[in-house]
C-alpha cells in the first residue's frame, strides 16, 4: 500500500515532467513561428518582384523593352502610392536568360538622369546616370550571373547576380512645359540584345496585348497568396535568382524544414500552421513599425541601406511592401512627415508654414521638391493642379534669404505667398514627402535635417 507521501512525490514528479514537456513544446512552437516570420520577410521581396513582373507584362508593357512614361500622374492616378511629379520614368523588366543586353545612354548635359538596375532581391547593383557617369555618353553590357564572354570594346559591364532585372530610370522634368525636351532625351535611350557578332541588334518590338481582365495590384495579390503557394514560388524563383553568399545561415535554417531551392515544398502540418502564424506576425510587426510616428514633429527618413540591404531582411521586406524599387540614398533621399511641430496630425483645416533659414535649403547637387499627399497617399486635387513645390519653381524668398512654404487649403492673401503655396484639401488629413536628388553629405550624414512644419494660429 502506497503512503500518502510517496504518492504525492510521484504526482509531483509527474507534474514536473509534464511542465517540462509542455515548456519544450512551447519553445519548439515559438522557434518554428519565429522561423516562419523570418523566412517570410526574407523571401517577400523576391516573390513580390516576380508578382510585379508578371503584372507589368499583363497590364503595362512587354518584357525586354523600354517603357517610356510621358507625363506626370495627377490626382486621378491611383496605381502607385506617393507618385512623384519630379521625373518622367523609363522602365523595363529584363530577362537575363534572353541576354546579354546592351544599354545605350547618349550624352546628356540638359537634365539630371538616373538609370538604376535592380536585381530580383531588390538590391541596386548598378546606378548609371549623372552621379556615377557624369554627362558623357556611355554604353553598358548588361549580363546575367552565369554569363562568360568578352566585353566588346567601348562597353562597360554591369553584371546582375540574378536572371530577373528591373530598370527604373528617372529623368528630371521641370514641369509640364518641359515634356518635349525630356521626351527627346528618353527617345535616345536604347535597350538592345547583343548579337553573336558582339554587336547590338536593332530593337524589334514583340507582339503584345494588354490584358482586358481587371488589374489586381501586386501588393493585393501578395496579401491574398496562400502561405504554401508563397513558399512554392520562393523556392522555384531562387533557382534562377540565387541567394547571396551572406544568406547561407538563412538557407541552412530553411533546409531544416525542407525548404530547398528547386525542390518541392514539403511542409508538414505543424510547420504549415507555424509558418502561417509567423507570416501573420511578420505582417503585423512591419505594419506597426511603419505606422509608428515621431511625436516631436521631426521628419522621418528611410534607412541609409536602401537598395543595398545586405542581410537586413526586415528593412528589405518593409521597403518592398510600401516602396518597391527604392533608390540608393546617394541618388535620392525621401524625408516625410504627417505631423506638425507639436506632434499633431497635419490637417487641411489648419494653416502651416515650412520655414527654411537662409543657407539652410535642402542640400542637393541636383534638385529638391516637397509633395503633399492625402491620407490615402495619393496626390491632392486642387484648382492649380499644383501637387509639389521645389527649387525649380518660381519661389519668392524673404529679404534675408530665407524661404517660407505655405501649406493650407485656401489661397494665401498675397502674391508672394501664393507663389509659395502648396495646396491641401480642407478638413482632411495629409502628409508631406520631400525628395532630395543627389543629396550632399550634410543630408546623408544627418548634419542637416528638414525643419518642423509650424502650425499657424
**Rounded CA separation 127/138 (Å):** 12
Q: What is the pLDDT of residue 265?
A: 92
Average pLDDT over residues 160-172: 97
- Whole-angstrom distance, CA of residue 315 vs CA of residue 332: 17
Q: Is the peptide bond before 253 cis (omega within 30 degrees of 0)?
A: no
Report strand pairing: 454-456 vs 421-423. Answer: unpaired
pLDDT for the residue 21: 47
The highest-confidence range among 4-8, 210-214, 218-222, 352-356, by mean pLDDT, is 352-356
Least confident of 30-34, 68-72, 126-130: 30-34
CB atoms within 10 A of CB 350: 19
CA distances from residue 426 to 336, 340, 349, 376, 431 in whole angstroms, order as listed? 20, 16, 5, 15, 13
The tens digit of pLDDT for each residue in 274-286 reads 999 999 999 998 8
Q: Which three cell numbers stand for residue 164?
A: 530577373
pLDDT at 167 over 70: yes
| Alpha-carbon distances, residue 417 vs 132, 369, 394, 428 (angstroms) | 38, 17, 11, 22
Cα-to-chain-centroid distance, residue 15: 53
Q: Is the peptide bond before 100 cis (omega within 30 degrees of 0)?
A: yes
Task: Quote the percentage of the chain above a pLDDT of 70.
Answer: 91
Q: Indicate whether 142 pLDDT > 90.
A: yes
Region of 122 on the Ramachandran plot (φ > 0 left; ψ -120 to 50 alpha; else beta): left
pLDDT confidence band for 360 (50 / 70 / 90): very high
Judge whether residue 12 has pLDDT over 60. Answer: no
* pLDDT number for residue 25: 52
Residue 302 has a pLDDT of 84
**Topology (CATH) of 67-193:** Immunoglobulin-like (2.60.40)
Asked if residue 203 has pLDDT above 80, the reply is no
Instruction: Return d(Cα 16, Cα 206) in angstroms, integer.
Output: 71
Radius of gyration of the chain (CA): 26
- Right CATH number for 324-456 from 2.60.120.600, 3.30.565.10, 1.10.3980.10, 3.40.605.10? 2.60.120.600
Sorted by where each begins, the domain ranges of the chain are 67-193, 324-456
Inform me whether the pLDDT recorded for 20 exceeds 80.
no
Closest CA to 394 of 175, 179, 112, 182: 175
Average of per-residue pLDDT values in the chain? 90
Quick: pLDDT tens for 386-399: 999 999 999 999 99
CB 236 within 8 A of CB 262: yes
Amino acid at each position: 500500500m502506497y503512503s500518502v507521501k510517496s504518492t504525492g512525490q510521484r504526482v509531483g514528479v509527474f507534474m514536473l515532467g509534464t511542465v517540462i514537456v509542455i515548456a519544450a513544446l512551447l519553445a519548439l512552437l515559438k522557434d518554428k513561428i519565429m522561423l516562419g516570420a523570418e523566412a517570410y520577410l526574407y523571401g517577400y521581396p523576391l516573390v513580390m518582384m516576380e508578382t510585379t513582373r508578371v503584372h507589368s507584362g499583363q497590364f503595362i508593357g512587354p518584357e525586354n523593352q523600354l517603357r517610356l512614361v510621358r507625363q506626370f500622374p495627377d490626382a486621378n492616378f491611383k496605381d502607385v502610392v506617393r507618385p512623384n511629379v519630379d521625373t518622367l520614368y523609363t522602365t523595363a523588366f529584363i530577362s537575363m536568360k534572353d541576354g546579354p543586353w546592351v544599354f545605350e545612354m547618349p550624352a546628356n548635359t540638359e537634365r539630371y538622369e538616373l538609370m538604376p538596375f535592380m536585381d530580383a532581391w531588390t538590391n541596386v547593383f548598378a546606378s548609371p546616370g549623372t552621379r556615377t557617369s557624369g554627362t558623357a555618353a556611355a554604353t553598358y553590357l548588361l549580363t546575367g550571373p552565369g554569363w562568360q564572354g568578352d566585353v566588346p570594346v567601348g562597353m562597360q559591364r554591369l553584371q546582375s547576380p540574378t536572371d530577373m532585372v528591373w530598370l527604373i530610370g528617372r529623368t528630371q522634368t521641370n514641369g509640364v512645359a518641359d515634356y518635349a525636351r525630356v521626351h527627346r532625351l528618353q527617345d535616345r535611350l536604347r535597350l538592345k540584345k547583343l548579337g553573336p557578332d558582339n554587336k547590338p541588334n536593332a530593337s524589334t518590338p514583340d507582339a503584345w496585348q494588354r490584358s482586358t481582365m481587371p488589374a489586381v495590384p501586386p501588393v493585393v495579390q501578395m496579401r491574398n497568396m496562400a502561405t504554401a503557394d508563397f513558399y512554392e514560388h520562393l523556392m522555384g524563383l531562387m533557382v534562377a535568382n540565387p541567394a547571396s553568399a551572406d544568406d547561407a545561415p538563412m538557407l541552412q535554417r530553411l533546409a531544416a524544414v525542407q525548404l530547398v531551392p528547386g525542390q518541392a515544398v514539403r511542409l508538414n502540418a505543424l510547420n504549415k500552421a507555424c509558418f502561417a502564424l509567423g507570416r501573420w506576425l511578420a505582417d503585423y510587426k512591419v505594419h506597426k513599425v511603419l505606422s509608428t510616428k515621431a511625436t516631436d514633429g521631426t521628419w522621418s527618413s528611410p534607412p541609409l541601406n536602401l537598395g543595398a540591404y545586405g542581410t537586413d531582411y526586415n528593412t528589405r521586406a518593409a521597403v518592398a511592401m510600401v516602396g518597391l524599387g527604392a533608390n540608393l540614398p546617394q541618388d535620392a533621399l525621401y524625408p516625410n512627415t504627417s505631423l506638425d511641430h507639436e506632434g499633431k496630425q497635419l490637417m487641411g483645416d489648419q494653416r502651416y508654414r515650412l520655414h527654411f533659414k537662409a543657407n539652410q535649403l535642402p542640400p542637393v547637387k541636383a534638385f529638391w521638391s516637397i509633395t503633399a499627399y492625402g491620407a490615402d497617399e495619393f496626390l491632392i486635387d486642387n484648382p492649380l493642379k499644383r501637387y509639389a513645390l521645389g527649387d525649380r519653381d518660381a519661389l519668392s524668398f524673404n529679404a534675408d534669404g530665407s524661404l517660407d512654404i505655405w501649406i493650407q487649403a485656401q489661397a494665401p492673401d498675397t502674391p508672394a505667398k501664393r507663389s509659395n503655396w502648396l495646396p491641401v484639401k480642407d478638413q482632411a488629413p495629409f502628409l508631406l514627402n520631400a525628395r532630395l536628388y543627389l543629396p550632399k553629405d550634410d543630408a546623408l550624414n544627418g548634419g542637416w535635417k528638414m525643419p518642423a512644419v509650424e502650425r499657424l494660429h
